[in-house]
Amino acid sequence: MKKLLGYILTPIFFLTFGLFLGIFHPIQWVCYKLFGYKAHKSSVDILNFFLTYSQLTLLNSVSFKNNQQLPTDRPIIFVANHQSMYDIPSLIWFLRKHHPKFISKIELTKGIPSISFNLKYGGGANIDRKDTKQSIGEIIKLGRRMNEKNWSTVIFAEGTRAKDGQMKPFQVGGIATLLKIVPKAVIVPVAIENSWKIVRFGSYPLGTLLPLKWTVLAPIEREDKPAEELVLQAENAIKQHIGQG
């Protein structure tokens, strides 16, 4: 029944999602070129509000829970599990006051309306996975911006999407590099649930009637712990929350 419904509703979703990407591309351009970062960020935030709630066309619900008292006077490294590309809009929208930036493949900075423009000019790190020196350099630049502007970063520490929802071991490298540049940053795990079910059948049909959930978990202070221990603590917190611990 859900799969049949997906065949009917998926074209409506793609039309809605694509329409917002197309509408906001020139809006982003104008905001960035004429008014600078603040206006551009506002346009990106609003875009991701609409992208997040485009899920309603699939009859999917969106739940974002944050009962934590997160600091606004220091950078945050949000560490999340990764289930689908649809994880991202909600993180941008609901964490907007923390100025979340992403570490993305450099290939994504071309060819995608709105998304490529934001990745290119939004202040994140765009890395070439075939060029280790370039990748580390981009992450270091991001860390410096975090220090200077009090921004935060979202890292999908598995390194790839968990297409069946089963978490893969978290990788330490990017987080360890950021912690060297941003030693005052706090690590905050974010648990994502059911997003993988949107694409369980591939790009068509998409999943319907899903309870999509994002939950911010308790912050993890560095306290001179090695990066490996901090990442493992974040990984275990997310696993426990989603029932894989």
CATH number at residue 193: 3.40.1130
pLDDT of 159 reads 83
165 pLDDT above the threshold of 80: yes
For the chain, helix, strand, coil in percent to 5 are 50, 15, 30
Distance CA 31, CA 38 (A): 8
**Residue 162 pLDDT grade (very low, low, confident, very high; cuts 50, 70, 90):** confident
- In what order do the strands lie in the sheet containing 186-193? 61-66, 211-216, 186-193, 76-80, 152-156, 100-105, 125-127
Residue 193: what are its φ and ψ, rounded to 5°? -130, 135
Is 214 in contact with 91 (CB distance < 8 Å)? yes
User: Residue 58 has what pLDDT?
Assistant: 98
- Quote the mean pLDDT of the chain: 95
- Alpha-carbon dihedral sign for residues 220, 153, 49, 197: negative
Encode pLDDT of 15-30 as tens digits. 999 999 999 999 999 9
The predicted-structure confidence for 32-71, as pLDDT tens digits, reads as follows 999 999 999 999 999 999 999 999 999 999 999 999 999 9
CA-to-CA separations, 213 to 54, 155, 191, 196, 241, in angstroms, rounded: 15, 18, 8, 11, 11
How many domains does the structure of the chain reveal? 1
Nearest Cα neighbor of 90 from 41, 45, 24, 40 is: 45
Please answer whether residues 10 and 206 qualify as being in contact, where contact means their C-beta atoms are separated by less than 8 angstroms: yes
Averaged over 101-108, what is the pLDDT? 94
pLDDT confidence of residue 245: 63
Q: Which helix (H) or strand (E) holds 80?
A: strand 76-80
Burial class (CB in 10 A: 0-12, 13-18, 19+), 243: exposed
- Which pTM value belongs to this model? 0.95
The residue range of the domain holding 234 is: 2-242
